[in-house]
């Protein structure tokens, strides 16, 4: 029976994980990307069904009751979750799967799938990270401050991840991510 491989990629908001994931999926289109479900509002640049599946808070809560998610969490005041069935189907088909999830979700996924590989993308410095958050222009000042507070807590949990990649040079960070996901490295 084929067994796939699951890769968790986490970071603070503004850490650069979305850029790195996009680069990896563009170069390796055979890799499956699990699209999270969220109750947050769509932002400029979000593509429905590619960035996230956007639903209301009430719809999300109903899916929780139906045991639809392998993991879910409230992050920055919004629900985020990973659908259970698609992961099971892809893993059963032997696919390589990327998950873009926060540290809470990563811990939950690792509990369900202990053989998964977890990667945390670190921003170059606190100053650059905060500047990236403010410069992207997608969040209110209140939301940015909440993301910074939450991000500081997330940075304290990076030791829970199998790999940490410093995103101070995009090409170098991508090469490191590519080496982890594409090479046949196994963790024992």
Supply the pLDDT for residue 14: 80
Answer whether residue 28 shows pLDDT above 90.
yes
Supply the pLDDT for residue 152: 86
Q: What is the average per-residue pLDDT within 126-146?
A: 79
Supply the pLDDT for residue 143: 79
Helix axis angle for 141-155 and 126-135, nearest 10°, is 150
| CA dist., res. 45 & res. 35, Å (int) | 15
Answer whether residue 101 shows pLDDT above 80.
yes
Answer whether residue 187 shows pLDDT above 50.
no
CATH no. for 5-182? 3.40.50.300
The β-bridge relationship of strands 96-100 and 32-34 is: parallel
Nearest CA to 8 out of 68, 70, 59, 76 is that of 70
Nearest CA to 172 out of 34, 61, 46, 20 is that of 20
What percent of the chain is modeled with pLDDT above 90? 56
Helix spans in the chain (H): 17-27, 57-65, 84-92, 103-112, 126-135, 141-155, 170-182
Supply the pLDDT for residue 184: 59
- Report the half-sphere exposure of 45 (CA within 13 A, side-chain side): 6
Give the model confidence (pLDDT) of 59-82 as tens digits. Answer: 999 999 999 999 998 887 889 999
Q: Averaging pLDDT over each range in 5-9, 41-45, 122-126, which range is the top one? A: 5-9
Q: Which has the minimum average pLDDT: 68-77, 126-135, 149-158, 169-178?
A: 126-135
Q: What is the largest CA-CA distance in the chain?
A: 50
> Per-domain residue ranges for the chain?
5-182
């Amino acid at each position: 029976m084929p067994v796939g491989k699951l890769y968790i990629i986490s970071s603070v908001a503004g850490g650069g994980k979305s850029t790195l994931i996009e680069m990896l999926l563009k170069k390796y289109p055979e890799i499956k990307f699990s699209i999270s479900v969220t109750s947050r509002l769509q932002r400029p640049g979000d593509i429905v069904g590619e960035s996230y599946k956007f639903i209301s808070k009430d719809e999300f809560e109903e899916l929780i009751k139906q045991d639809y998610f392998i993991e879910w969490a409230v992050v920055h005041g919004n629900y985020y979750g990973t659908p259970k069935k698609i992961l099971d189907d892809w893993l059963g088909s032997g696919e390589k799967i990327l998950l873009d999830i926060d540290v809470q979700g990563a811990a939950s996924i690792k509990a369900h799938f202990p053989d998964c590989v977890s990667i945390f993308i670190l921003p170059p410095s606190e100053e650059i990270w905060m500047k990236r958050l403010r410069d992207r222009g997608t969040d209110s000042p209140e939301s940015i401050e909440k993301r910074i507070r939450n991000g500081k807590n997330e940075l304290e949990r990076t030791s829970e991840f199998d790999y940490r990649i410093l995103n101070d040079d995009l090409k170098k960070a991508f090469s490191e991510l590519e080496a982890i996901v594409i090479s046949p490295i196994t963790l024992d």
